[in-house]
Amino acid sequence: MVKSMEITKLSIKEKLVIDVSVRMNNPEDYDFSPRASLDGATMNLFNGNDQSPSASADLDEEQIITAERDRMVELRVKFAVDGMHGVLTNKTKNVRDGPNAKKLAEPRWKTILPL
C-alpha cells in the first residue's frame, strides 16, 4: 500500500509532465495504480479507487491549457520504501565513474494517465 505520494515537479514537454515521489510501506507491496483528475486549476492524483486525493498541485495557465488540450499527462514515478535499510554510515566511492561504467538501476517508471 502507498504510504505517501508527493508531486515534486510539474513541467511541459510535448504534454504535461508530473514528477512524483511515492513511498511504499513494504518492499514486497505492489499495490499502486495511479489515477489523475483535473479539477479547475488543481491537478489531483489518486491511488486506485481512493476517494480523497493522495497528492495535489495548482497549475498555472499554460499547464492547464496543455492538460486540457491533450486530456492526458505523463507521470514519472520514483519509488522508495521508508525504514528498509536504516542509516547509511560508510559511503563507498561512486562506482559509475570511468569510461566503461554502467548506470545503476533505480526504482523508477513512467506512464501516460488520461484525465
**pLDDT single digits (tens) 8-39:** 999 999 999 999 999 888 878 888 899 999 99
- The secondary structure of 1-51 as a DSSP string is -EEEEEEEEEEESSSEEEEEEEEES-TT-----EEEEEETTEEEEEETT-S
User: What is the per-residue pLDDT for 72?
Assistant: 94
Q: What is the reported pTM?
A: 0.79
Q: To the nearest whole percent, how much of the chain has pLDDT over 90?
A: 56
What's the pLDDT score for residue 2? 86
Domain regions of the chain by residue span: 2-85+103-114
The phi, psi pair for 64, rounded to 5°, reads: -65, -45
Which cell numbers hold the place of 87? 542509516
Least confident of 18-22, 52-56, 101-105: 101-105
CA distance 71 to 51: 21
**Mean residue pLDDT across the chain:** 85
